Structure 1
Amino acid sequence: MLGIIRVLTHNDQGFVDMHGNAITSFYHIPTISRCIPEQYQGVHDEATKAQAIPKIVALAKELEERGAKALLISCAADPGVAEARAAVTIPVLGAGTCVAAVARSLGAHVGVLNLTGTTPPSLRNVLGDAFFQEIAPQGIENTTQLQTPAGKAAAIAALRELECCCDVVALACTGFNTMGLAQEMRPLLSIPIVDPIEASGAIAQQLFLGDDEYARVKK
């Protein structure tokens, strides 16, 4: 079982389960999803990241105790990945490093679509010299704003700009998965789009091959 840590607080468990359900659907990995408390706008700057880290560590310990065999912190800024790895004995993945690793394998000029500001350091470090361009949707300050018509339009416009100069796009916010951006835009773009949740599932799958629970879900 893969434990999914959502850094956006939400009272609807169906919403919390969305990223885990996507991974199960694509890769047949059983998941359990929980969100950290009291962060209704998620992690979108250094202050909210600092607030989230101890909550992420606490949730990592809880999910390990509940039987998770690996963890995914569902945020492309990878908040708390190092701290969680120090606190638990199971593998901990960050959505940012996962999307960067897959994007780098697909192109030499990677464009990064951020939520706000600049590309997260963990993602930038993995991209190395493949990092080529970065952009964020205009007028967006946090992940909840992506789930609006204006947020969607801004994200699509930013994608179009990256298409002009890059050979692959890495989506550097898991909120883009929530809004289904990659699935909608892949038929319309001339370059590959790498979704952070899909990329995380592809890498997590390597940890579950041969696992009895994984085999049951796959059937």
Structure 2
Amino acid sequence: MIGLIRVLTVSDPAALNCHADLIEKKYGLSLVSRCIPDQATGIHDEETEQIAIPKIINLGKELVESGCQLLLVSCAADPAVAQLRSATAVPVIGAGSAAALVANASGKKTGVIGITEEVPAIVAHTLGANFKGYLKPEGINNTNDLLSSEGQSACVQAVETLIANGAEQIQFACTGMGTINLKQILSANGITVPLIDAVEAEGLFASFYR
């Protein structure tokens, strides 16, 4: 059994399971999704990440105790991933590093789009010399802002800017971009460079442990 940890607090089952559903559809994996409490805007800065870390650790331990043999932390900052690897005996995959590793496989210069003021440290570190630049779309301050048409248009504009500045492919540094299927939105707006979705990337790595 694979446990998927959401860092956005949601009560609607469809919203809770949307990342698991994407992974199941693409890779044929079965997952159980749980979310941390009291984080209605998820993780979008240093403060919200620090508040979330102990919650993620506790939830990860609970999932392992319930029988999960693999954990996915579905957040591109990889919060508490290192701590969970030390605290449990199961593999722990973070969405941000997973996406960056996929991006590195091509050797292309990678532009990154996200919801934080600065690129998540794990993403920049993993991309290394392939990191081409980072943008936070205008008006996007947390994952919920991605749900609006204005937020999605801002994502398109940010990606166009990154490509104009030399990015050969784009990595999403927010799993909420998988929630809204930003890949499809960008493709519909004429973006043709490779697009690396963090939810798909964590699912790819999870598929090796099936």
TM-score (normalizing by structure 1): 0.92
Match of 1:189? 191
Shift of 1:163: 2.2
Letter in 2 for 1:174: T
Q: Does 1:170 align with 2:171?
A: yes
CA positional deviation for 1:37 = 0.1
Q: Which runs of 5+ in 2 are unaligned?
A: none
Partner of 2:117: 117
Task: Please say if 1:160 is aligned against 2:143.
Answer: no
Is residue 2:208 matched to residue 1:206? yes
CA drift at 1:48: 0.5
Distance 2:152 2:171 in 1: 16
In structure 2, how many angstroms separate the alpha carbons of the residues matched to 1:195 and 1:109? Answer: 16
* Rounded Cα–Cα distance in structure 2 between residues aligned with 1:161 and 1:106: 21
How big is each residue's C-alpha offset from its partner over 1:129-162, in whole Å with a ceiling of 9 and x where there is no partner? 0101111101111111111111111111111112
> Aligned to 1:190, what secondary structure does the other structure show?
coil
Partner Cα distance (1:116, 1:56) in 2: 19
In 1, distance between residues paired with 2:202 and 2:184? 16
Following the alignment from structure 1 to structure 2, what is the Cα–Cα distance between the partners of residues 142 and 182?
A: 19
State the alpha-carbon separation in 2 of the partners of residues 83 and 116 from structure 1.
22
- 1:55-134 aligned at under 5 Å gives the runs 55-134=55-134
Q: CA deviation at 1:190?
A: 2.3
Q: 8 Å contact 1:8–1:41 — kept in the other structure?
A: yes
Cα distance in 1 for residues equivalent to 2:183 and 2:163: 13
**3-state SS of the aligned residue for 1:207?**
coil
Partners of 1:47 and 1:166 in 2: how far apart? 30
Counterpart code for 2:57 = V
Identical-residue share of aligned pairs (%): 40
* Distance in 2 between residues matched to 1:35 and 1:186, nearest whole Å: 30
SS, match of residue 72 in structure 1: strand
How many equivalent pairs are there?
A: 208
SS at match of 1:106: coil
| SS at 2:208 equivalent | helix
Structure 1 unaligned segments of length 5 or more: list them.
209-219
* SS, match of residue 137 in structure 2: coil
Q: Secondary structure at the match of 2:105?
A: helix
The 8 Å contact of residues 75 and 94 in structure 1, kept in 2 or not, is answered as yes
TM-score (norm 2): 0.96
The residue number in structure 1 matching 2:38 is: 38
Deviation digits for residues 88-130 of structure 1, max 9, x if unmatched? 1100000000000001112431100111211111111110101
Aligned-residue offset at 1:182:
1.0
Q: How does 1:5-24 map to 2 (within 5 A)?
A: 5-24=5-24
Q: Which amino acid aligns with 2:177?
A: F
